């Protein structure tokens, strides 16, 4: 079994689970995975020779490696997200791999408006918001086009994955709340759905065992517990021991500011990431939750960790690690 991108939270958790389940696991990523019992191949998915070495002898591939930064040149996203996916698919096919699970994102079909009880929808590279979403959309289409008898490919779109140690959603919320830079955009009332990391891992593992009829398609994975965005953000803040945001910014103003900051970071050599992007402003001010019936039937999967249980685990982790206000 090859797992790419195992230095990220979801990739590491997935590789760890597969090792525990008795799989012989090889990982491929640029940094050490830290997954005990797995064999690390440290390289990029854009390196054809490294990918070929890593996939040799594998009978299945879980492809999670991606460029996920908020900002950056679109060519870099394309090289990793599209080019890397093509390299993994070509190497897997050449090595006789029979199943490939590609981790995609619901953002590939999000064009800026609300998604209310939506299905997976077709990836839209020309309409997706931002370089990450556009290149992930192109990569998903590339992957699903490769599906054929004897070489089955499925795309799983975990939605807003979080959990203890998360540096994406939780890490950004905590850092900005601690410094007073986390406003409420609009009313804070739109419903959003998220995925606790253990549930996302379960879904990816379930996809490996799904019937062939479930392959060649994309599935959104969530907890199936949509909550108002402010309620969820406040709960993460409380669990992490940081102040709950109270300052409000009109949603339209936030989107305009995000678009302006996108343009500034694209034109100028500014350090770090912008305090807001148009994509983030849209995500925090519009509803996005998904009908999970098709996913659960196709994968034979259901979430086992509720949002409230996940928040309790997050609070326990924060207490043990000293994260939060005093972290």
Q: What is the per-residue pLDDT across 201-213, written as a single tens digit (0 to 9) for each?
A: 999 999 999 999 9
Length of the chain: 327
- Mean pLDDT over each residue of the chain, to the nearest integer: 91
State how far the alpha carbon of 47 is from the alpha carbons of 32, 85, 247, in Å: 17, 11, 46
Q: Could you report the per-residue pLDDT of 194-243, keeping only the tens digit for each?
A: 999 999 999 999 999 999 999 999 999 999 999 999 999 999 999 999 99
Percent of the chain with pLDDT over 70: 98
Torsion of CA 173, 169, 194, 164, to 10 degrees: -100
User: Residue range 157-172: average pLDDT?
Assistant: 90
Per-residue model confidence as pLDDT tens digits over 72-129? 888 999 999 999 999 999 999 999 999 999 999 999 988 777 888 888 888 989 888 8
Residue in the block written with tokens 């797995």: 38
Residue 182 structure tokens: 């986390």
Q: What is the pLDDT of residue 325?
A: 42
Crossing angle of helices 307-321 and 229-240, in 10° steps, is 30
pLDDT for position 104: 96
Q: Are 321 and 171 in contact (CB under 8 A)?
A: no
Q: What is the pLDDT of residues 45-62, one digit of tens each?
A: 999 999 999 999 999 999
* Alpha helices per DSSP H over the chain: 9-20, 48-55, 74-77, 84-94, 130-145, 169-178, 197-208, 229-240, 251-267, 278-283, 293-299, 307-321
Domain boundaries, the chain: 2-162+195-223+289-304
**Distance between CA atoms of residues 292 and 181, nearest Å:** 34
pLDDT of residue 324: 52
pLDDT for 323 equals 58
The active-site residue out of 132, 196, 215, 219 is: 132
Query: What letters, b where the CB count within 10 A reaches 16 and e where it falls short, cover 136-152?
Result: bbbbbbbbbebbeeebb
Per the annotation, the verdict on 215 as an active-site residue is: no
Give me the CATH topology for the region 2-162+195-223+289-304.
Answer: Rossmann fold (3.40.50)
Q: Which pLDDT value is given to residue 327?
A: 37
pLDDT bracket for residue 27 (50, 70, 90): very high
What does the pLDDT read at residue 310? 96
pLDDT at 15 over 90: yes
| 192: alpha, beta or left? (left if phi > 0; alpha if psi -120 to 50) | beta
- In a 3-state reduction of DSSP, which class is residue 62? strand
């Amino acid at each position: 079994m090859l797992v790419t991108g195992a230095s990220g939270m979801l990739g590491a958790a997935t590789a760890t689970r597969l090792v525990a389940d008795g799989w012989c696991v090889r990982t491929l990523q640029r940094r050490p995975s830290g997954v005990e019992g797995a064999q690390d191949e440290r390289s990029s998915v854009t390196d054809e020779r490294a990918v070929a070495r890593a996939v040799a002898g594998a009978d299945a591939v879980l492809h999670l490696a991606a460029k996920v930064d908020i900002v950056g040149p679109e060519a870099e996203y394309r090289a990793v997200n599209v080019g890397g996916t093509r390299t993994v698919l070509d190497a897997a096919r050449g090595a006789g791999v029979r199943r490939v699970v590609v981790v995609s994102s619901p953002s590939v079909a999000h064009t800026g408006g609300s998604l209310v009880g939506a299905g997976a929808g077709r990836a839209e590279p020309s309409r997706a918001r931002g370089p990450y979403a556009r290149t992930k959309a192109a990569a998903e289409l590339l992957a699903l086009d490769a599906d054929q008898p004897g070489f089955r490919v499925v795309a799983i779109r975990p939605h807003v994955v979080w959990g203890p140690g998360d540096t994406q959603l939780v890490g950004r919320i905590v850092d900005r709340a601690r410094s007073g830079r986390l406003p409420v955009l609009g009313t804070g009332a739109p419903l959003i759905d998220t995925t606790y990391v253990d549930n996302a891992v379960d879904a990816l593992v379930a996809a490996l065992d799904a019937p062939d009829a479930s392959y060649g398609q994309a599935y959104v994975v969530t907890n199936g517990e949509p909550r108002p965005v402010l309620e969820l953000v406040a709960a993460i803040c409380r669990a992490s021991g940081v102040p709950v945001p109270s300052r409000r910014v009109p949603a339209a103003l936030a989107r305009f500011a995000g678009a302006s900051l996108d343009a500034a970071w694209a034109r100028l050599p500014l350090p770090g990431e912008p305090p807001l992007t148009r994509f983030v402003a849209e995500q925090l001010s519009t509803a996005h939750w998904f009908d999970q019936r098709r996913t659960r039937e196709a994968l034979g999967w259901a979430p086992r960790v509720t949002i409230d249980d996940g928040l309790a685990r997050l609070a326990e982790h924060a207490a043990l690690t000293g994260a939060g206000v005093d972290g």
